Every structure is written in C-alpha cells, then in structure tokens.
A and B are shown apart, each in its own frame.
Chain A
Amino acid sequence: MRFIFKTSYVQDLGIFRDGVQRNWYVALFFGMLALPLLIPSYLVDMSLVFIYGLCGLSLMVLAGYTGLVSLGHAAFLGIGAYTHVYAVHDLGLPWVVGVALACVVTAISGVLVGLPALRMTGVYLSIATLAFALIIQEVLTRWEHVTGGLKGKPVDKPIVFGVYLGGDVAFYFLCLAFLIAGTWLTGNLLRAPTGRAWVAIRDSEIAAQSMGVNLAVYKTSAFAYSAALMGAAGALFAHKIGFLAPDIFTVLLSIQFLLMVVVGGLGSLHGAFFGAVFVALLPVAISQARDLVPVWASALASPFGKSAGSSAFLAVDQFVKKPGLEPGLFGLILVLFILFEPLGIYGRWRKIQLYFSTFPLYKRATFRRQKAYMRSERLR
C-alpha cells in the first residue's frame, strides 16, 4: 500500500493524485502515440472509441456528476454534426470555426433543454430529454435545405488550417487531441467550485441550495457544458461516418451513450472512457469472435468423423449468422455486467487495484454493499 505524503495544500489541487499516477498517464499517452504502429488495421475503431470517449465525458458530467439523466444526448450529437457540416460545406467557414460554432449552437440548445428541466427531476427529466431528441430528429428530417432531409448529407474529409487530416492515422490523432483537451477542461471544472456545485446538486439539492448554490445557474451550466462537449464530438463524428442522415441520431444511440456511462461507472471520468472502449469495441469483438466460432466448432467435432465435423460446422455457422445475434449478445453482456458489477468497469478496476496494493491482506467485505437507513424523510 502506497501512502501519499502531503506537505502542502497545492498537492490537492493537481489534476493527478501524485507523481506516480502522472507517470502512468504519461506512459498511456505514449502508448496511444505508438498505437498506429502496433494495430494499423484497427485505427478506425480507435478513433470511434475516442469520439465515444468525448460523448461519455459529456454525459458523465450531466448524469454522473450533476445527477441529471438525459435520454436525448444523440440529439446534441446530431445538432453538433449538422452545424459543423453546414458551416464548413455550405457557408465555407474554416474547419476550426465550424467546430466552435457546433459547440456554441449545442450549448445554446443545451440551455434551452436545461431551462424547463429545472422543474423536473429523475424519470420526468429523462422523458423530457427523450421528447427533445425526438423533436430534433424530426427537425433534422424536415429542414431540408440545411440538413438535406432524408437524402442525407455527404461529409468531406477534415482540412484543418489547410492541412488534410482525412487519413486514418491523421484522423486518429485529431480525435485523440480533442479527447485529451476535453478531458483536461472537464477535469479543471471538476476540481473547481463549479464541479463541486454539480456534485452537490447530485447528492442533495436542498443542502446545495442552503450553501449558496443557485440551482438554476448550475443545472443549466451543466446542461450547456455537456451539450458543448457533445457538439465537438458531433463534428468529429460527422467526419468519422462520412455521411449524415437523421436516422443515425436515434434514441437508440442516446441509450447507448447512457449505457456507456453506467457500464463504465457513474461518477468518474475513468468510467466514461472504460464505457467508451466497451461500447465502441464490443461489437467489433463480437463480430471477430463470430468468424472464429464455426472454425472452432468443426475443429472440436473433427475427432467424431468427417460428417460430424462438417454438420457441426454448418449448424454453428447457421446459428451465428442469424441476424440479431450481435445486439442480443451485446445486451446479454450488459445485463450480466449490471447484475454482477453495479459500480461499472471503473468499480471493478478499483477493486483490482486495491487487491494488489494491499496484497496479502485484501478483505472481500471491503466493498460489500450495506443498506443505509438514513435520509428517510426528504424535502422535495
């Protein structure tokens, strides 16, 4: 077990816990830099992981830190993507201005959603955001001279300050840069009074209010900031998929984002990234595994004779090629996750860390859940 020796208050203000943690992150950074050399064929998937990471960050601020669960975040992604593409293609603005505009427009729409949300909590708020997402999807479909309607809108490769960044490697680094910048900004807010006020609203609105937190200001600022992050992610997402259509930004995508933060672990930035990796890479992993399964099946059946081998191969092959197997498996894994690790991947990660740092003395009961009998009456 490592104890951090603190000699000044400044030590508690850093973005990293201590030098050791910082070194791990530097190592991770270099790992990310070297990744294009290691797995060149999966770079496209990795840039999606980074974009989803930004989305996870965005929803983590809102759902994980402020406690406002949104079921309409795909709408912000859509607004960001369309704004960016409209600014860059139709208005001919520079790429960077397009991204900035995407952030501003989504932030404003975030405020517009946040304002009525001040009077709602819990499930009711989620339903309101869901309605917002449906409205936005309809707007994207109907507002044809801006969005191209159902015909869709093709997206060119990104050209930033005259530099073409459309290649897989270049785009990978572009997404990485955005993710690092987004994480840094979010980390800054979370260690400042604004972040504390958000957490306070999540844990007890009434106490936050009594300590001087203006609920209206901080709830809308959480919505605006979260939406702005989503806007930046939307700009990148547009380039990633290369073609915008309203049916991309469905409720299903919003739910995927929500799963991301829940599976990753609510209330930690790590969780957002773990969730992004999980949601972006699990379908890839499932389809990879699906290609291998028939081969294994026939290999396992081969000692029973040639006909048994080939019939097993055929049966398994037919089964794994059934449509809907992928989302089904995805769902199954999710259910198992929430059943056995409600704290998410980050919670499991912390347990593993603790196991090794306290090695022979780890107690299983450390994380046992207890029933709390306090806070029976609450003012609402």
Chain B
Amino acid sequence: MSPQNKAIGNIDQKIINMEKIVSRHFGQENSHRLTHYLKDKGYEAARKALTQMTGPQVIDEVKRSNLRGLGGAGFPTGTKWSFIPQANPKPKYLVINGDEGEPGTFKDKYILEQDPHALLEGIIITCYAIGSHKAYIYIRGEYIKSLEIVQGAVDEAYKGKYLGKGIMGTGFDIDVVVHPGAGAYICGEETALLESLEGKKGFPRLKPPFPAVVGLFGCPTVINNVETIACVPPIINKGAEWFAKLGSEKNGGNRLFCVSGHVAKPGVYELPHGTTLREIIYDHAGGILNGRKLKAVIPGGISAPVLTPDQIDVKMDFDSLKSIGSMAGSGGIIVMDDTTDMVWAAMITARFFADESCGQCSPCREGSGWVYRNVKRLYHGHARPHDLNNLPGIVNNIGGNTICAFGDAVSMSVGSYVSKFRSEFEAKIKERVCQI
C-alpha cells in the first residue's frame, strides 16, 4: 500500500489492484491540483471530444457505454442528454448535482475534494455534447472544504484556459459557476435544485415538463450527479466498449459504494456494477464489526428499502436491486448488526424524512411527521396495537401520491422496516419498554 493510500486508510489492497476509474487519483498527494491532473493525461479526453468528435458522437459514445445516472435514479445518461432540444433557441445549461444529502452517502465529497478536475473535464465534454456554454456546480452547503477545493480548481482551470473563452485553443466557450446549497435535503431532487439555484425555496416542480425541455431559468437543462460526470472523460479516452464491459448488463462501469455502519472497514469502494452485496460487506469492508452477525442492510441510501441477511447475494446494480424490491439509489450501504434495534432504526429514518419533507404537497408534509410520531411512540413503548396496524396503511397513502419521489422514499423505507421486522415492533407493544 502506498503512503498516499494509507492516508485515506480504508481502501483495501484488493480494490487497489482492480481497475479504478473515478477513484484513480484518490489518496494521492495534491490530487486536486491541475498540475497533478495533467500528469495523468488530464484534459486529453476534452481535447479529443472538442477536436475530433461532434456533439452527437459524444452522446452516442456515452449511450453505448451504458453509463447510468449515479445520483440514485439510474437513468441512462446518454439518453438524458439526447432529450435536449437542439432546435430550441434558448441557452442550454448543465447543472451538476453535488448536493449529496442522502444519509449513508459520501462519495461525491471524495470526487469534489480529491479529483475536482475530473469533474471539470467531464463538464466540458458534456457541455460540448449538449451544446451548452454554462454549467453550474451545486454543492451541498455543509461541504465547506469541497466548495473551497472545487472553486480553487475552477480558478486554476480558468487560468490554464481549460475554462472560459476559446478553451484549449478551440473555439468552444464555457463558464462554470460553483454554487453552495443552503442545507435542505430536498434540493438534491433535481427540480428542487433548479428552484434553489434560481434563488427560490427548494420545492420540487410538477412534471412534465422535464428539465431537458424547461429547466434552469426556463431553458433546456441537463442535471447530472458529480460521479456520473466524472465518469465521462475515461469513456471518451478509452471508449464506450471498454466502459460497458466493466459493469453488468445495462449498467456500465464501476461505481463508488459508500459502506458505513457496523463493518470493520467503513469507507468508499470503487467496484464494478454487479458486485454482490455480500462481497462488498465481507470481502471489501472487512465483514461485520467485532465478528457479530448481520441483521439488516440498507443498500442504496436511507431511501432504499432495508434488506435482510438472506438477500445480500443480490448484485449491486440498478436492475437487480429493483427486482428484489429495493433500489441501488446513491450507493450508500448502511450495515446493521444484531445489536441494532430495528424500531429505533425505523424511527431514525422516519425522523429524517419528517425533518426534511419540504412541505409542499399534503400527503408527504403531514404524513411524514405523522409516521415519525407513530414510530417514535412505538419505540418508546407507548403505542397500542392499532398504532402498528395503522402504520403500513399510512405510509402506503404517502407513496405514489406526491409531487416528487420523496413521498415514495418515506413510504418504501419506513414500510420495509415494518414489514420485515414486524415482530420487533410487536414486542415493543407487548413489553411496553424500549429493549436496547
């Protein structure tokens, strides 16, 4: 293990031997500096795209690479770009979603802080592909260090003529603005992010129209996650086929998995799509802490329905997780061992959603708080049987009935605790005490 890798500690030797893409510079000294980035073919992909390819060719390349949106929804990236109406005379925008707020997720932070130029190069290529000349990087307000580093990288790139007018001697103009969020989880939802960027309260918009047609300031807009865009330069450099081959079917490339909770070696792991959850927990993250037993695991951030130990042989890609009723989401894996009180875990989850519901539409606004108070009462042993019996019905009424996917998240995540660990909830009612 090199000294640099020791610095971030949790990257296993086994993974270091694997082909790394997005995390290839992680842990190296001064990896956030332009000089460092240039040493490793930095900005070559952008030059290649700008000088040798047309926009549609870039889009086609990304389509064939099977790159999917790594913020959580897993929408095919190239397809998303192709929705931008080129005939529309309005300016087009690229917005980078760096509002990483999903509990259990901390991958974008690493990219922003350790390899910001990879993101900037991805931005250049994407803007070129969709015909945009302005990109906004919306970074979670609490990520103060990330904001500073990314701004520093943007300044360096402007100085080195990688951003600004006529970049790299081509005729292409591009401006990049770094924008800090103000602390609301909902601003990670792409249309709420646009509202926030426009200076308004972060409320998700009604859809359609989708941002590709009416986005930022009413103009066609592509919104992509930090990790997604950081994958673009390697695709252009090494080709779509190489990238597609890395992952599983229809899920190209690797992804950064954030492992936290009761594991021996929590951290960020770059692994191919389709690696099983068991491998991630036991082979890469060092197994359950202190040799205890696994009780439950959240596979894709707090919004994803919780999995039980018998489900961990699932392949970690968008389609496989969906098929077993959960979701790959943001890649935030939260591991819980047998000391975990699942009612407590459900309560923490419900509290988060009650806290972060934006309050725009009624089922989520009133429902998330109601669910939290209900679960809280269950946890504290103050509930009656009808409270537990009502809970699945209440969460079901939220899901599917709201403006954005937040309501579905409340419904699916809290609902999964009740359906999979019902006996623990019942025990609370019987014993009328808090167990752990």
- Indicate, yes or no, whether A interacts with B: no
